[in-house]
A and B are shown apart, each in its own frame.
Chain A
Amino acid sequence: EAGVAQSPRYKIIEKRQSVAFWCNPISGHATLYWYQQILGQGPKLLIQFQNNGVVDDSQLPKDRFSAERLKGVDSTLKIQPAKLEDSAVYLCASSLGTRNGYTFGSGTRLTVV
């Protein structure tokens, strides 16, 4: 079974620039999550999709972050404009909705300078 694919692996941008991350979940997984992991911290949920609908985006900074999941498969997360404090690893995870955990991708490491 192929895992959760994310790209790019690394991205360096200047503050106030925009950036987009892409995620391809495991085939058949209806639920998709984006997490932000700041260095030395545990992952923090940003947004949760069920198929192509948003279930929870209460922790997404909507003034600068946006996300979509077209056709209930791939998803993109965008930051515009980026701030220094957005430097983090952005993890995508997908799930069948079972109670025993998700499958995470390897993440995109963003550095804002």
Chain B
Amino acid sequence: QKEVEQDPGPLSVPEGAIVSLNCTYSNSAFQYFMWYRQYSRKGPELLMYTYSSGNKEDGRFTAQVDKSSKYISLFIRDSQPSDSATYLCAMSGEYSGAGSYQLTFGKGTKLSVIP
């Protein structure tokens, strides 16, 4: 069993739809949960960051973490064609030392928003 599981899609939705992306994980030590967006031929860019369980909202984006179920989600409201990208979940435990930490990524879900 991989540490982080993410359905690679692809996922295709009409413009304006609500998008739901999710990941499951097996490592109970994960405390920090992130969503990255990666456009084609670009590096990942941080979209959302949450610590432990709970919800966090930023504009059209909402991140949810349920540590009891080892399940995290990203919701995109009023999706736009510019949201078309690959969405990667990433997780980390406590600091690995020297003031830094390492990320374990899911495979990524490729999203297409159709005008």
Contact = CB atoms under 8 A, between A and B. Distances in A.
Contact of B88 (A31, A42, A97, A105): A42
Interface stretch (A14-22, A48-56, A62-70, A79-87): A48-56
A56 B102 contact: yes
A24 to B, nearest CB: 14
Interface stretch (B43-51, B57-65, B66-74, B77-85): B43-51
A97 B100 contact: yes
Contacts of A50: 98-100
Contacts of B6: 42
A97 B46 contact: no
Range class of the A interface residue count? 20 to 34
Interface string A32-44: 0100000011111
A25 to B, nearest CB: 12
A93 B100 CA distance: 12
Interface of A: 4, 30-31, 33, 40-45, 48, 50, 55-56, 91, 93, 95, 97, 99-102, 104-107, 109
Interface of B: 4, 6, 8, 32, 34, 36, 41-46, 49, 51, 88, 90, 92, 96-103, 105-108
28 contacts: A31-B98, A31-B99, A33-B102, A40-B107, A40-B108, A41-B107, A41-B108, A42-B4, A42-B6, A42-B90, A42-B106, A42-B107, A42-B108, A44-B105, A48-B100, A48-B102, A50-B99, A55-B96, A55-B97, A56-B102, A91-B44, A97-B98, A97-B99, A99-B32, A99-B51, A100-B46, A101-B49, A104-B44
